[in-house]
Amino acid sequence: MALKATIFKADLQVSDMDRHYYGQHSLTLARHPSETDERLMMRVLAFALYASESLSFGRGLSTEDEADLYDQDLTGRITHWIDVGTPDERDIRKACARAERVTLLAYGRTALTWWEQNRKVLERLDHLAVLYLPPETSQAMAQLCNRNMQIQCTIEDGMIWLSSGDTTSDCSLETLKPAT
């Protein structure tokens, strides 16, 4: 018998002074049995960074060829494909063929090694941006994870603060590759 996804609820308040975006989002996240709290919180962070009324979560780890998050225009064309982690470079090339803009939020102990191994191929993809979050920061954000979350995200001058209850985690993302 296959294990079922665990459902997490998050009330996310975003105050993004850099983009002048302010919004309240009620998110329902299905966590695949093999997904960690750290990865789940990276999806929440990615949502906060690119929040919009049309941003949606993909169907998850068990579905290949689908973004972790995506934004579509009214015709159904994917305008922004967002993945977290260190996916196979072939999957990233496919995403670049399907979307106007692709962002990868790399995190974890092996992310920089993965980047060095895939750098030559990925640097040729014009509309791909690769951002990096150090492992100590992503692990600190994992501490905010629980089944019913109230999260405030403030973004100003490239700094990001995630708060839940009495706990706050702050970070800034390193750009490994900007989109051109």
> How far apart are alpha carbons 69 and 103 in whole angstroms?
10
Q: Is residue 142 in a domain? A: yes
Domain that holds residue 57: 7-177
**Using an 8 Å Cβ cutoff, are 155 and 48 in contact?**
yes
Q: Is residue 71 in a domain? A: yes
Q: Is residue 45 in a domain? A: yes
> How far apart are alpha carbons 158 and 155 in whole angstroms?
6
Residue 83, φ and ψ in degrees, nearest 5: -125, 155
Residue 65 pLDDT:
72
> How far apart are alpha carbons 163 and 13 in whole angstroms?
10
Q: Is residue 1 in a domain? A: no
CATH number for 119: 3.10.640.10
Give the global pTM: 0.94
Q: Is residue 148 in a domain? A: yes
Q: For residue 152, which of 133, 169, 135 has the smallest C-alpha distance? A: 169
Contacts 24+ apart (CB under 8 A), 65-73: 65/91, 65/94, 67/95, 67/99, 68/43, 69/43, 70/99
Residue 53 pLDDT:
93
Tell me the mean pLDDT per 10 residues along the chain, length 180. 83 97 96 92 97 89 77 94 95 95 96 97 96 95 93 96 92 94
Angle at which helix 89-98 crosses helix 111-122, to 10 degrees, equals 50
Q: Is residue 2 in a domain? A: no
Cα 149–chain centre separation: 17
> How far apart are alpha carbons 89 and 99 in whole angstroms?
15
Total domains, the chain:
1
User: In b/e form, how buried is each residue of 126-141, taking b as 16+ CB within 10 angstroms?
Assistant: eebbbbbbbeebbbbb
